């Protein structure tokens, strides 16, 4: 395993209902990086993420911090790795503070109560996600962006070294998408948190990620730095769309799909 890698897979495969969904993926996630996993709907992105978080059984090898993922106890792994799945659910009469407190469960003994460290970490997670004033608000009173930040705060309260986010901007309007993506960038830059995200927006990958893996039909078809990997040709081959390319006033590349099929 590379000294710079926090997670590395060899021939990772996932079979669900007797059908192999993910085929022999070899991935290397660098410590302190922001990595995107992209590809068409149904290609195996979310399945891959869940396998990497040990939410699904897999074959092959996954090394996390140099140890096989299967060798970790559940609580030990939850203190190191967190995942925010698509459309997570919680009782809507739960407060933001109560939700974030759930992130401390891996750090407590069985039936243990919150201690001073738990309260300190909860306060820190709320502060990092700009939710301190919302601590006593019910989840059902929050906007979509605020609710997503609350879930990220819960994951942060685990104090993970690696955070998986499965389509964190889905169902959010443009303003709240920017809010969440800028938060992701800040958590990475200021805390050194390693983040792996499943994304659909190609331009978010270009602007926020250091590394990208492209999956099609459960197989890895491209990998590397987004600027080099994400091209009009890639969109044509992987997604079957034609795109124009522009450079913004800030000097950023933007790809605009205009034709499908």
Positive or negative, the Cα torsion across 19, 21, 23, 28?
negative
pTM of the model: 0.94
Question: Which domains are assigned to the chain?
Answer: 5-80+160-260 (3.40.50.300), 89-159 (no CATH)
Highest mean pLDDT, choosing among 37-51, 80-94, 247-261: 37-51
pLDDT band at 125 (very low <50, low <70, confident <90, very high): very high
For strands 28-30 and 253-260, give the pairing.
unpaired
Element (H or E) spanning 119, and its range? helix 116-128
Tell how far CA 232 is from the center of its chain: 25
Number of alpha carbons in the 13 Å side-chain half-sphere of residue 117: 9
By mean pLDDT, which of 38-42, 84-88, 109-113, 200-204 is the weakest?
109-113
Please state, rounded to an integer, the average pLDDT across all residues of the chain.
Answer: 94
Q: What is the CA radius of gyration of the chain?
A: 19
Segment 110-115 shows an average pLDDT of 70
Q: What's CA 72's distance to the chain center, in Å?
A: 20
Give the separation between CA 45 and CA 52, rounded to whole angstroms. Answer: 11
User: Cβ distance 229 to 52 under 8 Å?
Assistant: no
| pLDDT tens per residue across span 152-204 | 999 999 999 999 999 999 889 999 999 999 999 999 999 999 999 999 999 99
- Mind listing the pLDDT tens digit for each residue in 211-246? 999 999 999 999 999 999 999 999 999 999 999 999
How far apart are the C-alpha atoms of 116 and 243, rounded to whole Å?
53
């Amino acid at each position: 395993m590379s000294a710079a890698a926090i997670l590395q897979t060899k021939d990772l495969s996932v079979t669900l209902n007797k059908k192999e969904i993910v085929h022999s993926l070899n991935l290397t996630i660098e410590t302190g990086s922001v990595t995107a996993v992209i590809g068409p709907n149904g290609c195996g992105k979310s399945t891959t993420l869940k396998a990497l978080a040990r939410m699904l059984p897999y074959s092959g090898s996954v090394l996390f911090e140099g140890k096989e993922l299967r060798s970790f106890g559940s609580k030990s792994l939850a203190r190191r790795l967190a995942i925010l799945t698509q459309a997570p659910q919680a009782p809507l009469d739960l407060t933001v503070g109560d939700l974030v407190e759930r992130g401390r469960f891996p750090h407590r003994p069985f039936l243990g109560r919150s201690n001073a460290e738990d309260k300190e970490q909860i306060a820190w997670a709320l502060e990092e996600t700009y939710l301190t004033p919302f601590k006593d608000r019910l989840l059902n009173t929050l906007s979509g962006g605020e609710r997503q930040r609350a879930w990220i705060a819960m994951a942060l309260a685990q104090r993970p070294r690696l955070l998986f986010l499965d389509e964190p901007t889905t169902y959010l309007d443009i303003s709240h998408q920017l809010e969440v993506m800028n938060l992701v960038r800040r958590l990475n830059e200021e805390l050194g948190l390693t983040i792996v995200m499943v994304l659909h927006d190609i331009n978010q990958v270009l602007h926020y990620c250091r590394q990208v893996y492209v999956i099609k039909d459960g197989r890895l078809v491209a990998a590397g730095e987004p600027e080099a990997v994400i091209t009009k040709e890639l969109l044509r081959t992987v997604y079957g769309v034609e795109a124009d390319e522009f450079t913004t006033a800030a000097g950023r590349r933007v790809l605009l799909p205009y034709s499908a099929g």
